[in-house]
Amino acid sequence: MDKKMLKEKPATIYSEQIKREKNDPGEGMRPLPWIVILMLGAMFMWGAFYIVITPSGELTNFGDQRTLSLLEPKVELSGTNSIDGKQVFIGKCAACHQANGLGLPGVFPPLAQSEWVKGDQAILANILLHGIQGQIEVRGISYKGVMPAWNALSDDEIAAVLTYIRSDWTNNEQAVTGDLVKKQRESTKSRQEPYKNVDEIKSGS
């Protein structure tokens, strides 16, 4: 074998080895599943439709189209003062009568659709001014317990909370004024103890 063949043989062997080698795996692009494409398309169409049908309000910082006046808490008016009767109720009355006005069965009477709440304003004002320590019937159920007097509240505060309970929880009665509470406070000032029964409450004294 001549020298020329000896020089070409290693090159030939190396070439054959290269041919036997497999190509390195490449990282190709994997297409998205068709279900994902459909979902993205549906979301895009829904978003475009929502933008088209949503009215453009003047106050763009309120995305739900509410105005600042609607977001402010409602204030119950009593006389010339503005007092939030609901806040007075939550602070003084909700612990017993509950925020929904339903009270606790057999323990604290309900205010919702109560004949006392919907009835004579003067009698209702007297109850708050002097409290109850005895038996009372509300919506056909007898309750016997203690309701404290709230005469430390101002006339307008009592009027505001009475107005609130007479207009919430499906109650729909006329507002109570501070002047009426003031009149009842003056006319019953001789009473030094809570009402003990229905007859005393209805006597108006």
Residue 176 exposed, middle or buried by CB count within 10 Å (0-12, 13-18, 19+): buried
Quick one: 153 and 115 in the same domain?
Answer: yes
Quick one: 110 and 172 in the same domain?
Answer: yes
Quick one: 99 and 188 in the same domain?
Answer: yes
| pLDDT tens, residue order, the chain (205 aa) | 555 555 555 556 556 666 666 666 666 667 778 888 889 889 989 888 887 776 655 555 555 555 555 555 554 444 445 789 999 999 999 999 999 999 998 899 999 999 999 999 999 999 999 999 989 999 999 999 899 999 999 999 999 999 999 999 999 999 999 999 999 999 999 999 999 988 888 887 7
> 3-state DSSP: the chain helix, strand, coil percent, rounded to 5?
45, 10, 40
Quick one: 66 and 79 in the same domain?
Answer: no
Quick one: 136 and 40 in the same domain?
Answer: no
**Cα 123 from Cα 135, distance rounded (Å):** 16
Quick one: 130 and 39 in the same domain?
Answer: no
Quick one: 43 and 81 in the same domain?
Answer: no
Quick one: 58 and 92 in the same domain?
Answer: no
117: containing domain = 74-203
**Cα 116 from Cα 129, distance rounded (Å):** 14
CB 134 within 8 A of CB 195: yes
Say whether pTM exceeds 0.85.
no
Quick one: 91 and 143 in the same domain?
Answer: yes
- DSSP alpha helix (H) spans, the chain: 3-20, 34-53, 68-71, 85-92, 94-97, 115-118, 121-130, 155-165, 178-187, 198-203
**Cα 149 from Cα 193, distance rounded (Å):** 9
